[in-house]
């Protein structure tokens, strides 16, 4: 299963009845004891990216049938062929720089051989200071640490992580920062009384970093998420964990063992991109973007294979992309001239 379709269970429905002590548990407890309740972004940062015990820093592969979830990049080679074709249609000039954010296992690298490919991930590569070409980010924004706010008595207040009876728990703290309030205004608008929302300031930081580095070209983001108009569907927020292809809303349990993710607030990302000089060219579901990439040759290049069995496998991959992930995931294309 892929991660996080646009459906959420009520937060008061408990999906996990287990509570285990992970290597990160004591690290987080010590920090909370010393500093008081910590921002959820700090909890999520350590849970995912602690240099030893973080979910994405472990030696265990989180992807695929034996992992916790699939991403579109596991549907290869069809996905890579179509994305490469998509970029080549945007700008056919060869040998332009293509930076992939969240490159992971570099599964896209073979398909980007026509470009000057730069892979960027935790502990892997750096985005060039100045370049022209493309930025590609597949399920990158959803893994950035987020803060959590709740509207209480007409005021946005921050929810932090504390300890209650030996377990991690939510603590309602002071008023949200000015930056958090601005993010909510762009992503949700007027948050209803008692409703929660995530605030992903690192996503805006990345938009600014890309804008500073990209002299001209395109940035393509593929992720699951919502627009400001759609945010009413998520009054409890969108935070989820994934483990062994099972989703849970119990995001404070088992840090370092489970993936933690939040839907991308695309309206906030678009607003920041426009402030940074980008033009929003397209915002559509992934299926529409892939159809655009494959239509010129009726998917002949994407489905090219040496034999009948391989041809059948590729057609099943295309079906998964168009009718499974393609209807759930969104595609945001930005241009800078």
For 218, the enclosing helix (H) or strand (E) is: strand 214-223
Residue 17 inside a domain? The answer is no
pLDDT of residue 242: 85
Task: Look at 65-79, 170-184, 252-266, 296-310 and tell me which has the smallest mean pLDDT.
Answer: 65-79
Question: Looking at residue 3, what is its pLDDT?
Answer: 53
Please state the rounded mean pLDDT for residues 173-178. Answer: 96
| pTM for the structure as a whole | 0.89
Asked if residue 9 belongs to a domain, the reply is no
CA geometry: angle at 316 spanning 315 and 322, to 5°?
90
**Minimum mean pLDDT among 54-58, 86-90, 162-166, 260-264: which range?**
54-58
pLDDT of residue 92: 75
* Residue 5 domain-assigned (yes or no): no
Give the structural domain span for 190: 23-336
Residue 285 pLDDT greater than 90, yes or no: yes
Contacts of 335 (CB under 8 A, 6+ apart): 217, 218, 278, 279, 281
What does the pLDDT look like over 29-45, one tens digit per residue?
Answer: 999 999 999 999 999 99
| pLDDT tier for residue 123 given thresholds of 50, 70 and 90 | confident
Find all residues with CB under 8 Å of 12, minimum gap 6, and list them: none
pLDDT at residue 9 in the model: 35
CATH number for the domain spanning 326: value is 3.40.50.12710
The residue-averaged pLDDT of 102-123 equals 93
Among residues 180, 164, 163, 213, the alpha carbon closest in space to that of 35 is found at 163
Q: How many domains does the chain have?
A: 1
pLDDT band at 97 (very low <50, low <70, confident <90, very high): very high
In a domain, 73, yes or no: yes
| Chain segment 227-241, per-residue pLDDT in tens | 999 999 999 999 999
Could you tell me if residue 2 is inside a domain? no
**98 belongs to a structural domain:** yes
DSSP state of 94: S
**Domain assignment of residue 155, yes or no:** yes
pLDDT of residue 191: 95
Residue 263 lies in a domain: yes
């Amino acid at each position: 299963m892929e991660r996080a379709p646009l459906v959420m269970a009520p937060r008061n429905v408990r999906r996990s009845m287990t509570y285990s002590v992970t290597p990160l548990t004591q690290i987080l407890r010590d920090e909370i004891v010393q500093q008081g309740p910590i921002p959820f972004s700090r909890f999520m940062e350590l849970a995912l990216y602690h240099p030893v015990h973080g979910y994405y820093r472990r030696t265990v592969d989180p992807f695929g049938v034996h992992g916790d979830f699939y991403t579109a990049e596991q549907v290869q080679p069809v996905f890579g062929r179509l994305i490469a074709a998509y970029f080549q249609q945007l700008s056919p000039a060869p040998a332009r720089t293509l930076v992939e954010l969240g490159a992971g296992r570099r599964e896209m690298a073979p398909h980007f051989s026509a470009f000057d490919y730069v892979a960027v991930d935790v502990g892997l590569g750096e985005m060039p200071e100045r370049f022209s070409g493309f930025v590609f980010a597949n399920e990158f924004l959803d893994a950035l640490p987020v803060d959590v706010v709740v509207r209480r008595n007409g005021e946005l207040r921050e929810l932090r992580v504390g300890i209650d009876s030996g377990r991690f728990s939510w603590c309602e703290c002071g008023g949200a920062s000015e930056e958090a309030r601005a993010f909510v205004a762009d992503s949700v608008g007027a948050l209803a009384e008692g409703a929660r929302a995530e605030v992903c300031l690192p996503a805006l930081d990345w938009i600014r970093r890309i804008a500073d580095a990209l002299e001209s070209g395109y940035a393509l983001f593929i992720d699951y998420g919502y627009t400001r108009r759609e945010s009413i569907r998520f009054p409890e927020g969108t935070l989820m964990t994934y483990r062994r292809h099972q989703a849970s809303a119990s995001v404070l349990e088992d840090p370092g063992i489970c993936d933690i993710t939040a839907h991308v607030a695309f309206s906030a990302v678009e607003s920041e991109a426009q402030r940074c000089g980008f033009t929003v060219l397209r915002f559509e579901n992934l299926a529409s973007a892939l159809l655009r990439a494959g239509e010129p040759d009726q998917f002949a290049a994407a489905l090219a294979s040496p034999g009948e069995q391989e041809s059948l496998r590729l057609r099943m991959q295309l079906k998964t992309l168009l009718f499974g992930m393609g209807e759930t995931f969104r595609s945001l294309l930005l241009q800078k001239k």
